[in-house]
Every structure is written in C-alpha cells, then in structure tokens.
C-alpha cells in the first residue's frame, strides 16, 4: 500500500514534461492488453488467411503454420481456408489427438491477438491456445502455458511447472489411469497453477488477447481483461511457438503475434 501511495504521489508531483522524458511511449491502460502490445511491442507475425490452403498435410495452411496432427490423417481436411477464414475441424478421434496447429513466436513477454468464433457446428466447441517450447527439457511436449475457452469457463493454465512438468506428470498419471483422487498435496499444488472464471459462450466473432508479462498471464476478450493469473511457468524465457489446440470446430479470422521483450 505504501509503495502504491508513494508511486501515486510521485505521479501527481511529476510534471507532464518529466513524465514524457521518463517514458516517451504513450501511456497504456492496464485494462487493455491489445493497446499494451501495440504501444510496447513489435509485431513479429500477422496472418489474415486471405488465400487457399494447399492440401491436407502439416504445412497446408502456409505462411509458416505447421500442424502436429495433420499428417496422422492425410485423407482428412482439418484446416480449410475459406473466404479469409481459417476453419479448423479436428479429426480428433481419427488422429488420436486434438488438432494442434502452431507457428513460430519467440518472446519472453508479449502475446497474441486472435479474432475467432465458435461456428456452432458441434456440441462442446472449445479453443485452447498458448505457448510451447520443445527445446527445453523436462516439459512434456514442450507445453508451457495455455488459455482454454470452453462451455464450462475460461481457464488460464501454467503447464510448465504444473501437469506437463515431467516429474509431476509421472506422479499424477497412475492416479489418472486408475481414476483415483490425487494425493492432497499434489492436488493442492496443481490448483495453484491455474485459474478458472465463468463466461457465456456464443457464436459471435470476438477479439481475444492472450499475453504473458513476467510471471503473469492475462486473457482479454473484446477489449477487457477477463482472467489473469500469476505462476512461475508463465515467466518461461522463450515462448517459441504459438499454438492452437482444437478438439472439434473453431474459426479463426486473424492472428497477430507481438513481442514486448
Ligand atoms: Ca481474415
């Protein structure tokens, strides 16, 4: 509180010129992470999907996108570029995995701005998106951290120091296999790694912003922060890939990736 008051007082006392000299970039409301990315970040990737896909395989989407699951089911089209929209329809059952579509990112602090909608073609449509680093050992498949948008709620998850940490995963898996309750200490630890908030899912277009800044991850929808959580894994120094994990259907109109640091 004292720090906050001192900081507030310093702001009140500082002249506008002094404030400009201290930071030549425009002030940013902490309530709008898209503005934070534009003001403090560099745009390192943009895709509006204004083209046709090239077949069904891993690189069919083009522009540097890759799919970790497409080649498992080469006869099925999981990514359709149609009218400037990436329409994802995962063959999760046939491929044995949700569609995993990813692109190079490469930042410590930064994030992605995504225009998306659930088309309402399937029950239980959901979208998981976040960051992966397969070059760091000790993390299953390099899964670092994700936001999940599902009918049951919005969830922010630190998987690096949570369920995808290899030691934790090894300890947890037998309980999952036996469908048993986790030991209390493990359950309590994993609960600190994520946060869930309710939301009302619909079939409209929305702008989503997912950022990490230090050990905090924040999710905004349509210009407002709707979930934020702090956990050690969010501070991972290299968000190497930006990834979508889609269990059935979702449409993506536009993706921007910004690097702040
Ligand atoms: Ca588009």
Mean pLDDT of the chain: 91
Tokens found for residue 64: 């540097």
Average pLDDT over residues 58-73: 96
Q: How far is the CA of 207 from the centre of ligand 1 (A)?
A: 13
> Rounded to an integer, what distance in angstroms lies between the CA atom of residue 94 and that of residue 137?
29
Q: Is the pLDDT of residue 90 over 70?
A: yes
3-state helix, strand, coil in the chain (%, to 5): 25, 40, 40
Q: How far is the CA of 47 from the centre of ligand 1 (A)?
A: 8
Q: What are phi and psi of 178, to 5 degrees?
A: -90, 0
Tokens found for residue 209: 């912003």
Residues 227/195, Cβ–Cβ less than 8 Å? yes
Q: Is the pLDDT of residue 84 over 50?
A: yes
Q: How far is the CA of 1 from the centre of ligand 1 (A)?
A: 45
> Rounded to an integer, what distance in angstroms lies between the CA atom of residue 167 and that of residue 178?
18
Using alpha carbons, select from 177, 150, 174, 165 the residue that is nearest to residue 250. 150
pLDDT at 211: 98
Helices (H) and strands (E) in the chain, counts: 6, 15
Q: How far is CA 250 from CA 73, 202, 230, in A?
A: 19, 12, 28
Q: Is 123 exposed, middle or buried (0-12, 13-18, 19+ CB in 10 A)?
A: exposed
Q: How far is the CA of 48 from the centre of ligand 1 (A)?
A: 4
Q: How far is the CA of 113 from the centre of ligand 1 (A)?
A: 13
Could you tell me which residue, 72 or 15, shows the higher pLDDT?
72
Q: How far is CA 238 from CA 23, 62, 68, in A?
A: 26, 23, 20
pLDDT at 13: 46
When mean pLDDT is compared across 21-35, 53-67, 85-99, 137-151, the lowest value belongs to 21-35
Q: How far is the CA of 129 from the centre of ligand 1 (A)?
A: 18
Average pLDDT over residues 99-110: 98
Q: How far is the CA of 144 from the centre of ligand 1 (A)?
A: 27
Q: How far is the CA of 110 from the centre of ligand 1 (A)?
A: 22
pLDDT at 223: 93
Q: How far is the CA of 255 from the centre of ligand 1 (A)?
A: 9
Residues 231/165, Cβ–Cβ less than 8 Å? no
pLDDT at 225: 95
Q: How far is the CA of 23 from the centre of ligand 1 (A)?
A: 35
Q: pLDDT band at residue 16, thresholds of 50, 70 and 90?
A: very low
Residues 234/162, Cβ–Cβ less than 8 Å? no
Q: How far is the CA of 251 from the centre of ligand 1 (A)?
A: 10
Q: How far is the CA of 231 from the centre of ligand 1 (A)?
A: 33
Confidence (pTM): 0.87
Say which CATH class 28-259 falls into.
Answer: mainly beta
pLDDT at 31: 65
Q: How far is the CA of 205 from the centre of ligand 1 (A)?
A: 12
pLDDT at 30: 57
Q: Is the pLDDT of residue 1 over 80?
A: no
Would you say the C-alpha torsion 71, 73, 79, 82 has a positive or negative sign?
positive
Average pLDDT over residues 181-196: 98
Ligand 1 (ion): which residues have CB within 5 A? 48-49, 84, 253
Per DSSP, 39 falls in state H
Q: How far is the CA of 253 from the centre of ligand 1 (A)?
A: 4
Q: How far is the CA of 137 from the centre of ligand 1 (A)?
A: 36
Q: Is the pLDDT of residue 14 over 50?
A: no
Q: How far is the CA of 216 from the centre of ligand 1 (A)?
A: 29
Tokens found for residue 116: 């998306």
Q: Is 225 exposed, middle or buried (0-12, 13-18, 19+ CB in 10 A)?
A: middle
Q: How far is the CA of 82 from the centre of ligand 1 (A)?
A: 9
Per DSSP, 183 falls in state P
pLDDT at 12: 46
Q: Is the pLDDT of residue 242 over 60?
A: yes
């Amino acid at each position: 509180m004292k720090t906050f008051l001192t900081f507030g007082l310093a702001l009140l006392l500082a002249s506008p010129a002094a404030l400009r000299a201290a930071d030549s970039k425009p002030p940013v409301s902490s309530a709008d992470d898209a503005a934070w990315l534009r003001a403090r970040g560099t745009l390192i990737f943009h895709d509006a999907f204004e083209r046709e896909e090239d077949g069904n395989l891993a690189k069919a989407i083009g522009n540097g996108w890759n799919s970790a699951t497409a080649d498992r089911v080469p006869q099925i089209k999981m990514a359709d570029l149609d009218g400037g929209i990436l329409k994802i329809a995962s063959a999760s059952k046939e491929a044995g995995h949700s569609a995993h579509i990813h692109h190079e990112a490469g930042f410590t602090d930064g994030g992605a701005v995504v225009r998306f909608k659930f088309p309402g073609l399937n029950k239980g449509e959901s979208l998981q998106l976040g960051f992966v680093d397969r070059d760091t050992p000790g993390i299953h498949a390099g899964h670092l951290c994700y936001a999940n948008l599902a009918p049951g709620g919005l969830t922010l998850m630190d998987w690096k120091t949570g369920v995808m940490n290899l030691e934790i995963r090894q300890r947890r898996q037998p309980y999952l296999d036996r469908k048993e309750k986790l030991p209390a200490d493990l359950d309590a630890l994993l609960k600190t790694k994520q946060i869930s908030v309710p939301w009302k899912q619909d079939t409209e277009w929305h702008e989503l912003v997912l950022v990490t800044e230090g050990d905090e991850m924040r999710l905004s929808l349509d210009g407002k922060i709707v979930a934020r959580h702090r956990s050690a894994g969010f501070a991972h120094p290299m968000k190497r890939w930006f990834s979508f994990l889609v269990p059935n259907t979702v449409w993506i109109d536009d993706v921007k990736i910004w690097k702040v640091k």
